[in-house]
């Protein structure tokens, strides 16, 4: 029997193949993703380094959502979990908890390497690597790595997101994937990420009080990044979590803190449990953000926005925040690899950017074979078909990339670096990242100091 998706169950990556008219039905779209398999080969560093474990767990957690054929991790042994991203005592147990398996992968499966590993038996294969604020991937055959220093764990997470993007592009038939290096500098966006940058500071400060607007794929990616940062004991971030939505089965394909066991729970409450498990203090707001939202003086002065509603975005400067950092993602088959960031206050008002009636319409490609088949079988009517078509294509590694820049925006300002009013790019071509810099005042909130 042919599988019939609903807006609440549709895998947002499988939708890509339906929108591009590459498959006859939803089941065939899922079958394509089941042909995506990855092996992760780990050097000894993963047993002793929190940064390398952040890279590994990101690959497993985000990778299993698009590579439905499975994630197999080759470990050099087992050891304690050094980061609070999973409720597990050992690294191997954390891998299983996030949907991976341990063992030896078949030789023909594309490989992603973490740490010092031997040469790959086949192509494509990628070396995940980073140093300080810079992160990316290099074809494993080059035998090259950055020095992989520092405790800025955004970098190894970002490197893994780039690796998953390159692997996905390889499976999707992009000619350069697997044959090129790709990466980004979070300290100096647009610079050559493989070159040492003496202006990069060590990580000394971390933001403590934040208001999270929206807990979908972007909001959960923000929380993943924050959970990986090395906050001192007693100085974990205090978070206000605002959302009104409920976790659906579709969220499992895009959102790194969602899974099938959480379907039906409110996002605020599920995310609060995760945050409390890593010792962050939380309060929740279960209503829509809009013109009626007002922060009080004792609430976080910085907001991180992860929703895509134009009317709500237009009100971002009305709630009384001293700083807002928001991100948006492309959604259609031609733009799903795109990401953009805005900060406020800025030279342009949020209301001018997202004027009433200016919301970008969702891609509504409903003319392909898969959609036509649903109509013919009577599985959906025209209204239901329009709802399916309106759902955006989504992949978690784009959300993680955008999230890295959102959190890095706060960290750069804390460390005297540049402030960006706008930053935009695409994982299809990271070298073409564009940024508009601005003057920034003193950091408008409490922060933790690392020893």
Q: Would you please indicate which residues are annotated as catalytic (active-site) residues?
A: 383
Token pair belonging to 24: 């006859």
How many angstroms separate the CA atoms of 231 and 207, rounded? 9
Token pair belonging to 421: 């009013």
Contact between 48 and 14 (Cβ < 8 Å): no
Contact between 5 and 13 (Cβ < 8 Å): no
Identify the CA nearest to 225 among candidates 153, 273, 280. Answer: 153
Cis peptide before 345 (omega within 30 of 0): yes
Distance of CA 445 to the CA centre of its chain: 25
Q: How many other C-beta atoms are found inside a 10 Å radius of the C-beta of residue 87?
A: 12
């Amino acid at each position: 029997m042919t599988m019939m998706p609903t807006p609440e169950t549709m895998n947002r990556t499988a939708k890509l193949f339906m929108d591009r008219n590459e498959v006859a039905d939803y089941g065939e779209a899922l079958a394509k993703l089941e042909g995506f398999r990855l092996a992760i080969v780990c050097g000894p560093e993963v047993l002793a380094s929190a940064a390398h474990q952040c890279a590994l767990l990101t690959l497993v957690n985000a990778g299993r959502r698009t590579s439905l054929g499975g994630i197999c991790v080759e470990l050099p042994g087992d050891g304690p979990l050094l980061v609070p991203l999973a409720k597990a005592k050992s690294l191997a147990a954390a891998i299983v908890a996030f949907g991976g398996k341990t063992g030896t992968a078949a030789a023909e499966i594309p490989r992603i390497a973490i740490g010092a590993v031997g040469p790959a038996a086949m192509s494509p294969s990628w070396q995940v690597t980073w140093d300080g604020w810079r992160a990316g991937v290099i074809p494993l055959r080059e035998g090259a790595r950055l020095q992989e220093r520092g405790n800025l764990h955004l970098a190894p997470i970002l490197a893994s997101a780039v690796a998953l993007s390159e692997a996905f592009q390889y499976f999707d038939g992009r000619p350069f994937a697997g044959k090129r290096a790709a990466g980004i500098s979070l300290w100096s966006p647009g610079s050559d990420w493989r070159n040492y940058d003496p202006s990069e500071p060590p990580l000394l400060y971390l933001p403590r009080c934040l208001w999270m607007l929206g807990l979908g794929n972007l909001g959960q990616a923000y929380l993943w990044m924050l959970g990986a940062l090395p906050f001192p004991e007693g100085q974990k971030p205090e978070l206000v979590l605002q959302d009104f939505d409920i976790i659906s089965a579709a969220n499992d394909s895009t959102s790194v803190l969602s899974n099938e066991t959480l379907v039906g729970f409110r996002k605020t409450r599920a995310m609060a449990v995760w945050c409390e498990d890593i010792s962050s203090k939380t309060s929740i707001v279960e209503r829509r953000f809009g013109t009626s939202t007002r922060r009080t003086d004792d609430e976080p002065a910085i907001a991180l926005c992860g929703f895509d509603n134009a009317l709500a975005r237009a009100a971002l400067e009305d709630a009384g925040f001293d700083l807002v950092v928001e991100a948006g993602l492309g959604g259609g088959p031609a733009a799903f690899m795109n990401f953009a960031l805005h900060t406020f206050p800025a030279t342009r008002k949020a209301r001018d950017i997202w004027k009433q009636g200016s919301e970008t319409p969702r891609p509504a490609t409903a003319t392909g074979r898969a959609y036509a088949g649903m109509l013919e079988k009577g599985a959906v009517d025209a209204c239901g078909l329009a709802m399916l078509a309106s759902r955006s294509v989504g992949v978690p590694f784009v959300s993680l990339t955008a999230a890295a820049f959102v959190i890095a925006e706060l960290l750069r300002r804390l460390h005297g670096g540049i402030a960006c009013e706008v930053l935009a790019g695409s994982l299809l071509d990271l070298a073409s990242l564009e940024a508009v810099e601005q003057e920034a005042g003193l950091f408008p909130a409490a922060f933790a100091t690392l020893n």
